[in-house]
Structure 1
């Protein structure tokens, strides 16, 4: 069964400076039960919402199966943790997720490569272990809502972009 296991909408960027200095404190309430997405803009309330530099990559999706035991969104700083959906090889496709409030299409633009911070936030060796399993960066094609819990999904080819 496929599911959305966790959702993260954080208003602050916690991984700043040098990894050896540690991450900034987590704001309260960044792990949420539902997120609201806006087409072309990202997740309402997230640090990358409507930022020009992140318009093509404002939503990140990662598969639980690629994470070490005990790791979650608070450690890897992605937005959507799915179970039962292999997302890492979907670059160029459209991933449609429906958690009960209607389908939300996400155009998968590129891989979300892990960084050296993963050795601090997840554990030693995580940066190397997450290569190829760091998730994907997406742009939402629809306004909609996603919730933690069971999800139906579809993968289709991306439409041609002019």
Structure 2
């Protein structure tokens, strides 16, 4: 959930109200309350993930202070997981409120807003490490805090 819309301008829209302690996910729908939930064009890409380490590396590359992950427009930020390797796999996230199964899909390519929201050069710098788009295979709740990631199949074998 985010407030970036249209072409980038010189200011970043307020994001604080978009932070969630928990999100409810429904299979075939996406994140309840998200503006794209249930839309056919987004069903295979309704949940986005990014690795916190990608943002740390980008900040280091650009010589700037670490970024607030919320500014990336990704729904889920994972630390300690190779998010890019989850493409074409089925995996589970368990935050303690039940398992949510996701099917990793295409890259979550960065947009030009990243140069405004993060730092000049972030749009280009996030290419290849901007995260992935996923389709929820099961419903459940993801919440802020520790999670267990379980790979359910090998790359290339997921639907």
TM-score interval (norm. to shorter):
0.7 to 0.9
Q: Which moved more, 1:48-57 or 1:67-76?
A: 67-76
CA-CA distance at 1:89 after TM superposition:
2.1
Please point out which of 123, 130, 133 is paired with 1:127: 123
Partner of 2:3: 14
Partner of 1:4: none
SS of the residue corresponding to residue 55 of structure 1 reads helix
SS of the residue corresponding to residue 84 of structure 2 reads coil
Residue 121 of structure 2 corresponds to residue 111 of structure 1: no
Name the TM-score, length of structure 1 as normaliser.
Answer: 0.84
SS of the residue corresponding to residue 75 of structure 1 reads helix
Q: Which has the higher strand share?
A: 1
Structure 2 unmatched runs, 5+: 60-64
Is 2:27–2:137's contact at 8 Å kept on the other side of the alignment?
A: yes
Partner of 1:57: 45
Is 1:73–1:79's contact at 8 Å kept on the other side of the alignment?
A: no
SS of the residue corresponding to residue 17 of structure 2 reads coil
The change in CA–CA distance for 1:100 and 1:71 in structure 2 (over 3 A counts) is: same
CA-CA distance at 1:117 after TM superposition:
1.1
Q: Which has the higher helix share?
A: 2
The change in CA–CA distance for 1:14 and 1:29 in structure 2 (over 3 A counts) is: closer
Distance 1:22 1:80 in 2: 24
Partner of 1:75: 71
Equivalences, count? 149
SS of the residue corresponding to residue 48 of structure 2 reads strand
